[in-house]
Amino acid sequence: MPRISPERREAKRAEIVAAARRCFSRDGFHQTSMPDIAAEAGVSAGAPYRYFASKEEIILAIAEDAFGLVFRPVERLAAVSEAASVAELVAASLEALSVDTVTDATGRSVSVEELLRCAVQAWSELLRNEAVRTPAVEGFEVVRRSIAAALGRGQKAGAVPITADPENSARVVMGLLHGYLLQRVAFSLTDTAGFSEDVTVLLGGGAQCEAPAR
């Protein structure tokens, strides 16, 4: 087999990543062996090493996908919102994750359920794996700042309580999002719409009534 086309190479890499994601989602990072991944992908034991230098690199790739799944929609929403209230921001973010599949950078369909399970494991991993932590924390900071900026604009527009600190409030927004994710994959949260509605009721009311009072 001579040099394969970049497309085929990319496709095979994606298959290995998909296989790893299924394994990791089902069995966990550390209960999945490299032979497990290879078998799930239908390739030989050595094949993944042509695409990733080590198991850690596969974990890292999937952790980045998982963090991206969570961070990217929020960042995008924060960037485009004109005068979003906290409730609107959270609700829209949760909405963005209320799908069964997303499409990755190469157009492939990826199970949200699987990737969120990997995300929870990636939280464990980043605690003591520098290679996972660094991009995760940087990604988080980017999102947080983006949210803070949106909330600042919201304050000017009266949609966000003027007494709120945008930096802290951005953390509250991320906290709600992360807390939702954890319940969804680990604590049998099925009524995701209900969660979102109550976030709106609890937060949204607060913001709206404040404005006149001040």
State which of positions 45-84 bind a copy of itself (CB under 8 A): none
With CB cut-offs between 5 and 8 Å by kind, which of DNA, a copy of itself, none does residue 172 bind?
a copy of itself
Minimum CB distance to DNA smaller for 2 or for 212: 2
- Per-residue contact string for residues 102-141; x = within reach of a copy of itself by CB under 8 A: ---------------x--xx-xxxxxx----x--xx--x-
Alpha carbons 141 and 138: distance in angstroms, whole number: 5
Find residue 109's DSSP bridge partners: 103
Structure tokens at 81: 């919102």
- Per-residue contact string for residues 27-46; x = within reach of a copy of itself by CB under 8 A: xxxxx---------------
Alpha carbons 55 and 37: distance in angstroms, whole number: 10
Let me know if 46 is exposed, middle or buried by CB neighbors in 10 A (0-12, 13-18, 19+).
exposed
Q: Which of 135, 152, 158, 206 binds a copy of itself (CB under 8 A)?
A: 206
Q: Which helix (H) or strand (E) holds 150?
A: helix 130-156
Number of residues that bind a copy of itself (CB under 8 A): 62
Task: Label each residue of 39-82 as H, E or C.
Answer: HHHCCCCCHHHHCCCCHHHHHHHHHHHHHHHHHHHHHHHHHHCC
Rounded to a whole number of angstroms, the CA Rg of the chain reads 20
With CB cut-offs between 5 and 8 Å by kind, which of DNA, a copy of itself, none does residue 84 bind?
none
Residues within the interface to DNA (CB under 7 A):
1-4, 9, 12, 31-36, 43-47, 49-50, 53-56
Residues within the interface to a copy of itself (CB under 8 A):
26-31, 86, 117, 120-121, 123-128, 133, 136-137, 140, 161, 163-165, 167-169, 171-172, 174-180, 182-183, 185-189, 191, 194-195, 197-199, 201-210, 212-214
